[in-house]
Structures are given as C-alpha cells and as structure tokens.
Amino acid sequence: MRPLLGLGALAAAAVMVVVGLSNVRTDTTTASFLSLDDPSQKASLFAARSFGGDPVVVLAESSKPEALLGRAEITKLAGLEGRLSALPDVAVVYGPGTVLNQVAAQAQNLLATISGRRDAIREVAAARARKAGKSKTEVARASDAASKTFDTRYGSLLVKGLPAGLPTLRNPAFTRAVVFDKNGQPRQQWRFVVPRPNAVSIVVRPREQLDQAATERLVTRIETAVEAADLKTSKVTVTGMPVVAAGLGGVLRHEIPLLGGVALVLIVGCYLLLPWVTRRRTRLLPLVATLGATAVTLAAFGWLDHPLSLGVVAFLPIVLGTGSDFPAYLVRGADRRRVVVTALAAAAGFASLAISPIPFVRDFGLALAAGVVLAVLFGLVLSRGAYAPDRAATIDLVPEPDPRPPLSRRSRFGLLGVATVVALVGWIALPHLDISAEPEKLAQGVPALTDAEYAEEVLGAAGEVQILVRGDDVTTPQALAWMSRAQAVTLREFGDRLHPVASPPTLLAFLGRDPTGAQVEAGLAQLPHYLRTSVIRDDDRAAVLGFGIEFGDVGAQQRLMADLRGALPPPPRGITVDLAGLPVVTATTYELVSKGRYLDGLVGITAAGLVLLVGLRRRSDALRGIMAAALATGWALAGAWVLGVSLTPLTAALGSLATATACEFSVLLGGRHRGHAARVRRSVLVAAAAATSGYLALTFSGLAVIRSFGIFLAATVLLSLLAAQVVRLLLPVRPPVAIDVAPVESRTKVPV
C-alpha cells in the first residue's frame, strides 16, 4: 500500500510540474529591464497610460524625393494610418497623411470662414440698399463696394498663404509648399513625420504595459497592415523598442532550449569522462537531481504566472553547472551537513540579487537560489543507497591534517600580501568600471536592433524623452506659456542632442504669442482628436512635450537628464513637471546600479558568510569561505579593470555570483577527512569543470550580453578555485586533537 501511495504522490507531482511548465511564458519588454519603484518610472507609466507607450515607428523610403507625398501615395498613407489606429492595443497614431489632412482641413475651414464672412458683408450691404429703395443695379453696386475693402485685406493674405492652390491632399503643390522649405528640405516642425525628402515615418503608440504576447501580436499586425498598403517604396522599416522586444522574445524562445542542451551535453561529458566515482551508472545522479530541481523551479514560475525574462537564458546553464555540484558531493560521500550548509550559503548569495533595481536580475537570482536548494534536496534523496557501504571502504569522520608541510610565516605573509593587494585593486576600481545598462545594449545581437539603429540614422533619434506636465488644467494660457518657454530652453541648451517631436506649443503655434484662454480653446477645437490626445489628455490634466534622442552612452544620458531638469524654468502654481520616457528611466536605472556597486558586491558575500557561520561546526571554515569569496571577487574586478571590460546589471553583482563557487570550493577543500582527501579534491575539480562548462555554454548565445556573461563567470570559477587553494595555504586545517575512537563497527560510516 505504501509503495502505491508513493507512486501516486510522485505521479501527482509530475503532473503539477508538467502543467506549470506548460504555463511558463517569457517577457522581454522594457518592464523586465526597468524598476517599477522609481519616481521616473512611475512618471513614465503615467505618461504611457495617458498618451501611449514606447512607439512602433514605420519608416518608409522612396527612391525619389517627395515621391511618397504625391497624390496617390499620400492618400495610401492616410488610409494606412487610419487602419493602424483601428488595431487592437493601439492608443495613438500620427503620420504625414493624417497631419497633412488636418492642415488642409484647417485651411479649408479658414477659407469657409472667410467666404462666409464675405457673403455676410455683401448681404448686409444689399439689404440696406434694398431698404433704401435702390434699384437692382444700385443694390449690386453697393454689395460690391462693401466687399471691396474685405477682398483687398484678405485676398492678399490668401494669395500669400495659399500660393500652391487649394488645400487638399490631392494637390501635390499644396503638400510641397506646406512640408518643404525653399531648399527642398522638410521644415523643422515636420521632421518627426517627414525626416528626409525621400522618407516618411508613421508613429504608432501602443497602450501601456503590453505583455510579451500582446506586443508580438501588435508588431505582427502592424507589419501586415504596412505590407497590405502597397506603398511604392524602396525600403520599409518597422522598428522601435516594442519591435526589439518582440525580436528578443523570439531569440529567447530559441536559445533557452539551445543553451540548456549545450550545457547539459558539456556537463554530462564532465561527469562521465572525468574519474570521480567508480560506478558509471551513478555518475549522472547529480544531473538527474539538478534537472528535477530546474523543472520544478520553472514550473513554479508557471504556477505563479510570473514571466521569465532575459535572465532565464543564463539560468539553465548556471543552475545545471553549479546546482549539480552539491548532489555530486553527496553521491561521493562528503559530509552531508557541510554540503547542505554550503549549498544554502550559495543560495543565499544568489538570493541577494533580489536587491537589484533591475527586475530580470532579481528574477535571475531568486530562480538560481530556488534551483540550488531544490537540487541539494533531491541530491539528499538520490544519494541514499547510491553505494552499498563496504566495511573495508568505510571512512571515519575524524579530520585529517594537511599532509603537506605548512608555509613558513614569511611565505604566508608574502602570499597574503600579493593576494590582498590584487583583490584591493579590484574592489577600489569597482566604482570606476563602466556599466552598460541600456536596453538596446542588453538586446545586442537581436536582428531587430539593426533596424532600430538604421532608423535612428534616418530619423535622427531612437527614443523619446518627454517633459510631463500635470495639473488641474494644463490648457490655461499660463501653462501653455510655460510649455513654450520650456521647449525654447530645451532646444536652445540641448538642441544638438534633443530633437522636437510633438508638443502643445508646436501644434498650437498658429495661435501666435500670448493667446487668450478663448483662443486656446478654439485652437484645440481645430485639432483632430487623435492629434490633440497625443500631447494633451482628454481631461486636460496632463500634457507632454516630446523630444527625440539618439542611442548613446547611458552615463552621458544620465547627465543630460540631470542638466535638463536643472534648466527647465519654474512651473506656474498648480503645475508639476517630471521627465518621462524610456531614456529617462534607463538613465535612472544606470544611476541606481552605479550607486549600489559596493552594496551589490558585498551583500552576497555577507549573506553567504552568515549562513556558513551559523551552519558549520568550525568558525574557521566559514572564515575561509568568506575570505575566498572576497578574494575571488576582487581578482575578477581587477581583471575587468585591466582588460577594460564593462559591467552589465548581471556582472555588476559579481560578489553574489562568485560567492557560490568560492565558498563551495573553500569549505569542501577545508573539510577533508581521513582516508579520502584526494577523493574530495578530485570531486571539487570535477565540480569546477562542470560549473565552468555550464557557464561556457552561454558563449553559444546570439546575445552579446549573455556571451560576455558566460566568459566572465567561467573565469570567476577558475578564480574561485584559485582563491580556495590560496586560503588553504594561508589558513591550513589544524591537526586534530588525539581522541579515543570507537571500534570500526560503531563508527559513523560514509559510503565511498
């Protein structure tokens, strides 16, 4: 009965794991890269809810200048923009077709108003003449005389203002006169939709916070609509951060099984080909335990409906490499308490990544911690009975002194000095190492990023910085006047790096300087709803001034955002001002990661050290682990500084990552027991080879950030092993005190 219950429980657990794995989903949108707790991110989310999220940009180019603004093509563009605005999950669309159509409509309204006013003047004069008893000829003469002054005044204005004829999309001369200057270049206010004479762009703003699946669906629908528009183009590029996120999601789905498979093959090779246990059938038990732990961890994400982000690409090879070490030690017959405590210390180091401001780094650390804990639990189960205890091969747990002669005091101090100086160089250099925290850098290797970089070259911008204005009413003359001053200051001080996109002052420029409240209200009424709501919310409580910005050094962007905040004039009473947009949040994230370098580096070592101090019998073993982790981390940082390697949000928390292997190697090597010291050293070397293989599997990734991360961590494993050996020489295990030992039959037995 009991075996049946066990099988039933095992089957139920397997079903739960399968169901959880089937619900696993990925997320590579900007939400996985950026902290949701920062004020700039909150302002950006508010702006996204009010005006749409990071845009998808359709860049269409023709072989000849102005070809896409001809009669047939501009009509197609207007139709395409209308179809795009009707797609699900689209908040706002604007492009040359709709904007030009609005200009034409305003001009037609002006003509209708002038014509109606002229007719009214003529009718009043005719009515007066008829009332005075004038003849028909005299009535006509009076009517002409009354309109003559009006025609003289407004006729000349119409001739000057409408030199190209009727204001309609079907009149190429009108389009040319409105969009291009006398040199044939797009006017400054039009460059956000007509960046070049032979190029036009359509901006599609999705609704806020689309998940991965919705983002990919929207990008596909936009591409389908663009293809169906049948524009006569030489090239069409659909780009933007949502497109990059969709492409990154595709890479992620491809690389998760690929890198996991490569890591599995390499680690299987280590355990099968390297001699560490006699019986080959037991050599794969560590991997069986780790695969089970990995499956359960990923299933938990599915059950919790928590998406897996970029870090999951690195998760599989790392948990297979590091997580399998601890079941291997258990199978080898190492002291269970020492193995379990060391595994918990490694998990604590990984879990300390939860303090990172980057969501995907937090998920990565927590997933690794869970994977290591589950791997050691499964290892405890599978290692029982892996070998039948043999009386001749049993070993007792009396600590064995180091068989090698200890170093002299002079040699020990020399070794300590060199090791410490190199590590201190790394720790001191930490604040000066470059950090790459830009989403586009993290997505380097995604094909869609090439299109984004090309579009940046044409458009002169790749992202958008928004000045977010909030208040009870942002359409008052005072608020509009402030926005005009803010825009002027921004362009004067930072016009070489920030390019105007759309703003209330730009759209209402026809009102002139210092419009009244009634004039502002009338001007807003002239704007189409889609264009008005792209910069002013329906309830008039929020507005944005948009400026394009190029991809660039995130540190320089952070300084630019700080300078922009300082340059903006004080807002009027009742108005609050924030900076919003992806570049703003990226700059803030960079600042948070940069400021927390020492905290991120030390918290993992501290957490693991506390676990070792509490769990191990000898405090000296815990001190060896802490010392090895600090040395390995410092050496790795020194190497990065010497080689000029930039840190990423993943490698910035190197202390947490190096702690796992450094503590593992130093504690296991420091816990030798009589009769199997060589076997423990061999097991540690095999574990180091397995961990290194798992990390090197990441070099097969198409993403640059993952490849560099794999190389960085593989080097860290070797440095951790070296640090553990150095610590053993500096702090050798003391010989045991002579004690009475019970007969062999009554001693604690550990299978070999």
Between CA 619 and CA 606 the distance in angstroms is: 15
For residue 49, the 8-state DSSP code is H
Give the single-character DSSP code of 336. Answer: H
Q: Average pLDDT for residues 683-699, to the nearest whole number?
A: 87
- For residue 747, name the pLDDT band (cuts at 50, 70, 90): very low
Whether the per-residue pLDDT at 621 is higher than 60: the answer is: yes
Q: For 289, what's the count of Cα atoms within 13 Å in the CB-facing half-sphere?
A: 30
Q: What is the pLDDT of residue 58?
A: 92
The helix/strand/coil state of 338 is helix
Better-scored residue on pLDDT, 575 or 38: 575
* pLDDT band, very low/low/confident/very high, at 298 (cuts 50, 70, 90): confident
Instruction: Say whether pLDDT at 197 is over 70.
Output: yes
pLDDT: is 549 or 482 the higher one?
A: 482
Is the pLDDT assigned to residue 384 strictly greater than 80?
Answer: no
Mean pLDDT of 540-557: 84
Predicted pLDDT of residue 109:
60
Distances (CA, A) of 600 to 181, 188, 634, 713: 54, 46, 13, 16
Residue 19: per-residue pLDDT: 80
Q: What is the pLDDT of residue 144?
A: 74
**In angstroms, how far is the first alpha carbon of the chain from the final one?**
33
Element (H, E) at 202: strand 199-206
Give the integer Cα–Cα distance in Å for 644 and 442: 18
- Whole-number Å distance between alpha carbons of 471 and 474: 6
What SS3 class is residue 560?
helix
Specify the pLDDT at position 303.
Answer: 87
In the predicted structure, residue 1 carries a pLDDT above the cut 70:
no
At residue 741, the pLDDT reads: 39
Look at residue 34 in the predicted model and tell me its pLDDT: 66
Q: 629: which DSSP letter?
A: H
How many angstroms separate the CA atoms of 729 and 712, rounded? 26
Strand order in the sheet with 542-549: 498-500, 542-549, 463-471, 575-580
> CB-based contacts of 409: which residues, under 8 Å, 6+ apart?
none
pLDDT tops 70 at residue 121: yes
pLDDT above 80 for 139: no
**Dmax (CA) of the chain:** 142
Task: Determine the residue type at 490.
Answer: T
**What average pLDDT does this structure show over 271-289?**
77
pLDDT at residue 567, rounded to an integer: 94
Calculate mean pLDDT across residues 609-638.
91
Mean pLDDT in the chain? 80
Structure-token pair, residue 621:
């073993």
Interval 82-101: pLDDT, tens: 899 889 999 888 888 877 77
pLDDT digits (tens, 9 = 90+) for 492-548: 999 888 888 888 998 888 777 888 888 888 888 877 777 788 899 989 999 999 998
Cα distance between residue 372 and residue 353, in whole Å: 14
State how far the alpha carbon of 52 is from the alpha carbons of 14, 589, 603, 653, 675, in Å: 43, 21, 38, 34, 69
Residue with the larger pLDDT of the pair 222 and 359:
222
pTM greater than the 0.85 cutoff: no
Q: How many whole angstroms separate alpha carbon 211 and alpha carbon 209?
A: 6
Phi, psi of 87 (to 5 degrees): -70, 150
Q: CA–CA separation, 635 vs 424, rounded Å?
A: 8
Q: Label residue 277 by pLDDT band (50, 70, 90).
A: low
**Tell me, what's the pLDDT at 540?**
93
Average pLDDT over residues 42-71: 86
Position 6 scores a pLDDT of 58
**How many Cβ atoms are within 10 Å of 90's Cβ, its own excluded?**
18
Cα 126 to Cα 142: distance, rounded to the nearest angstrom: 6
**Dihedral over Cα of 582, 588, 594, 598: its sign:** negative
Q: DSSP letters of 361-428? A: HHHHHHHHHHHHHHHHHHHHHHHTTSS---TTT-B---B---SSPPPPHHHHHHHHHHHHHHHHHHHH
- Residue keyed to tokens 């490569």: 262
Task: Give the C-alpha separation, 101 to 539, whole Å.
Answer: 25
Residue 218 in this model has a pLDDT that exceeds 90: yes
What percent helix, strand, coil does the chain show, rounded to 5? 65, 10, 25
Average pLDDT over residues 25-41: 70
Q: What is the reported pLDDT for 388?
A: 38
The pLDDT score that the predictor gives to residue 396 is 37
pLDDT in tens, 149-160: 666 655 554 544
Residue 570, judged by CB atoms within 10 A of its CB (0-12, 13-18, 19+), counts as: exposed
| Joined tokens for residue 207 | 């609704």
Q: What is the pLDDT of residue 607?
A: 92
Secondary structure (3-state) at 232: coil
Which pLDDT does position 107 carry in this prediction? 62
More confident residue, 71 or 373: 373
Q: pLDDT value at position 720?
A: 92
**For residues 397 and 640, which has the higher predicted lDDT (pLDDT)?**
640
Which of 365-374, 517-526, 645-654 bottoms out in mean pLDDT, i.e. has the lowest?
645-654
| Helix, strand or coil, per DSSP, at residue 727 | helix
The Cα 297–Cα 21 span in angstroms is 9
Phi, psi at residue 236, to the nearest 5°? -125, 130
Residue 394 clears pLDDT 70, i.e. is over it: no
pLDDT above 50 (res 311): yes
> What are the Cα distances from residue 518, in Å, to 367, 475, 511, 524, 525?
59, 11, 11, 10, 11
* Tokens read off for 53: 């999220």
pLDDT tens-digit readout, 447-492: 777 888 788 788 777 778 999 999 999 999 999 999 999 999 999 9
